[in-house]
């Protein structure tokens, strides 16, 4: 049969597109082509981009791209290329065939390779370099909505994606001499910030957790996809990388983990349901989050116990309060001691 009817051609391509997307072939075939970067579907419009430093969460859809964190600076070119390629392919296969309105020829042309979708928003969960290093390049590659509700506060930024974060993050990145292009264009103080309109068919919420990894942490809630992007408050590849010098504390990390646990809903028992994309590591669910919260709680309690017994930091370290989890979370033996030290210092810090 000759496929000459325009809608038949469209239908054939649509079907091919469905199979293409359904098999997530981007992630599986193209890891090498993308410099080790993988884009993995999570749910709805939400994807995980892995391999560029910290996990990057993407919302990709009709409104463009929103990204949570930008990875390391040295990975920016690869991240931009991977996102462009991904959105272009997605666009191409999801684009319905358009009626050709020009000369009176035979009807329909397929749109072929369409442009990639613009990066509209960047959200930062903390100021650490593996989360914000890509900011300048990614923000420059993006495009804000002109004249919309999200035009940046900083007038000289001009074009580029809007960068959203807690106000302390602006200070922290300024202190770290981040180029202006990579600094937040819109900040919030207090407990939360919401995008004022749906983006890719859902509400997106930033929630601040005071003094957790730093004093500038947010985690992000995708309300329809039911996905939380946690940042390093939940780092499933290791102990939480609390940065005391930048305002972090174990109490804050626990408060953040508990807050997320209040929000997640399992599908059955404690499995499935809400997905949590951790700062590092694989896609998680409530059971993983609860396991991690319990781990941090128990280590905190053990260190607290030692402090009550007037043990020194060295004595507490020697008692190995992290022993049960070191196989899983201490990539290097020193990381266990570092975490114990951070917990100890958090608990003994004099309140200012
Ligand atoms: Zn991190």
Return the pLDDT at 269: 84
Distance between CA atoms of 199 and 148, rounded to whole angstroms? 13
Q: Which residue has the higher pLDDT, 188 or 2?
A: 188
What tokens does 298 get?
A: 């128990």
- Give 41-59 pLDDT, tens digit per residue: 999 999 999 999 999 999 9
Ligand 1: centre distance to CA 130 (Å): 6
Ligand 1: centre distance to CA 237 (Å): 9
Crossing angle of helices 250-263 and 286-308, rounded to 10°:
150
Query: Could you tell me the pLDDT band of residue 116, with boundaries at 50, 70 and 90?
Result: confident
Ligand 1: centre distance to CA 289 (Å): 16
Query: Could you tell me the pLDDT band of residue 95, with boundaries at 50, 70 and 90?
Result: low
Q: Tokens 């910030």 sit at which residue?
A: 193
CB 162 within 8 A of CB 150: yes
- 3-class SS of residue 347: helix
Ligand 1: centre distance to CA 184 (Å): 18
If 0-12 CB within 10 Å is exposed, 13-18 middle and 19+ buried, where does residue 177 land?
Answer: exposed
Ligand 1: centre distance to CA 232 (Å): 5
Ligand 1: centre distance to CA 231 (Å): 7
Ligand 1: centre distance to CA 56 (Å): 10
What tokens does 137 get?
A: 């390049």
Return the pLDDT at 117: 84
Ligand 1: centre distance to CA 131 (Å): 6
Distance between CA atoms of 237 and 331, rounded to whole angstroms? 8
What tokens does 169 get?
A: 């993050």
Ligand 1: centre distance to CA 253 (Å): 13
Crossing angle of helices 76-94 and 6-22, rounded to 10°:
140
CB 56 within 8 A of CB 70: yes
- Least confident among 16-25, 105-114, 212-221, 300-309: 16-25
Query: Could you tell me the pLDDT band of residue 94, with boundaries at 50, 70 and 90?
Result: low
Distance between CA atoms of 336 and 267, rounded to whole angstroms? 33
Query: Could you tell me the pLDDT band of residue 159, with boundaries at 50, 70 and 90?
Result: confident
* pLDDT of 18 higher than 70: no
If 0-12 CB within 10 Å is exposed, 13-18 middle and 19+ buried, where does residue 190 land?
Answer: exposed
Ligand 1: centre distance to CA 155 (Å): 30
Q: Give which of 299, 307, 310 is closest to 335, Cα–Cα.
A: 299
Rounded to whole angstroms, the maximal C-alpha distance in the chain is: 89
Distance between CA atoms of 220 and 238, rounded to whole angstroms? 20
User: What structural domains and CATH numbers belong to the chain?
Assistant: 6-348 (3.60.15.10)
Q: What is the mean pLDDT of the chain?
A: 85
- Quickly count: other Cβ atoms within 10 Å of residue 284's Cβ: 20
Distance between CA atoms of 87 and 96, rounded to whole angstroms? 15
Classify strands 119-123 and 275-278 as parallel, antiparallel or unpaired. unpaired
Distance between CA atoms of 57 and 292, rounded to whole angstroms? 20
- Give 19-36 pLDDT, tens digit per residue: 333 334 444 445 556 778
Query: Could you tell me the pLDDT band of residue 350, with boundaries at 50, 70 and 90?
Result: confident
Ligand 1: centre distance to CA 203 (Å): 25
Ligand 1: centre distance to CA 328 (Å): 17
Quote the pTM value: 0.83
Return the pLDDT at 34: 72
């Amino acid at each position: 049969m000759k496929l000459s009817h325009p809608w038949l051609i469209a239908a054939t391509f649509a079907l091919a597109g469905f199979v293409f997307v359904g098999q997530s072939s981007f992630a599986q075939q193209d890891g090498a082509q993308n410099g080790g970067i993988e884009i993995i579907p999570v749910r709805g419009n939400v994807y995980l981009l892995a391999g560029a430093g910290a996990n990057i969460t993407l919302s990709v859809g009709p409104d463009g791209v929103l990204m949570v964190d930008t990875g390391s600076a040295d990975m920016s070119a690869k991240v931009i290329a991977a996102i462009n390629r991904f959105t272009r392919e997605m666009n191409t296969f999801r684009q319905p065939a358009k009626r050709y309105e020009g000369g009176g020829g035979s009807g329909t042309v397929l749109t072929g390779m369409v442009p990639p979708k613009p990066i509209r928003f960047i959200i930062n969960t903390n100021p650490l370099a593996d989360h914000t290093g890509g900011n300048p390049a990614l923000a420059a590659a993006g495009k804000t909505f002109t004249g919309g509700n999200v035009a940046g506060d900083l007038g000289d930024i001009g074009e580029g994606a809007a960068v959203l974060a807690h106000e302390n993050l602006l200070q922290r990145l300024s202190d770290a001499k981040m180029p202006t292009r990579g600094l937040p264009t819109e900040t919030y103080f207090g407990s939360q910030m919401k995008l004022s309109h749906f983006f890719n068919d859902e509400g997106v919420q930033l929630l601040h957790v005071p003094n957790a990894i730093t004093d500038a942490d947010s985690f992000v809630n995708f309300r329809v996809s039911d996905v939380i992007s946690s940042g390093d408050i939940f780092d499933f590849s290791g102990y939480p990388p609390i940065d005391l010098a930048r305002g972090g504390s174990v109490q804050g990390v626990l408060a953040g983990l508990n807050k997320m646990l209040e929000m997640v809903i399992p599908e059955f028992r404690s499995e499935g349901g809400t997905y949590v994309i951790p700062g590092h590591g694989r896609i998680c669910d409530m059971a993983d989050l609860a396991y991690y919260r319990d781990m941090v709680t128990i280590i905190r309690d053990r260190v607290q116990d030692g402090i009550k017994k007037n043990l020194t930091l060295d004595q507490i370290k020697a008692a190995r309060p992290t022993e049960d989890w070191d196989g899983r979370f201490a990539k290097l033996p020193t990381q266990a001691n570092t975490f114990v030290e951070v917990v100890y210092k958090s608990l003994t810090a004099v309140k200012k």
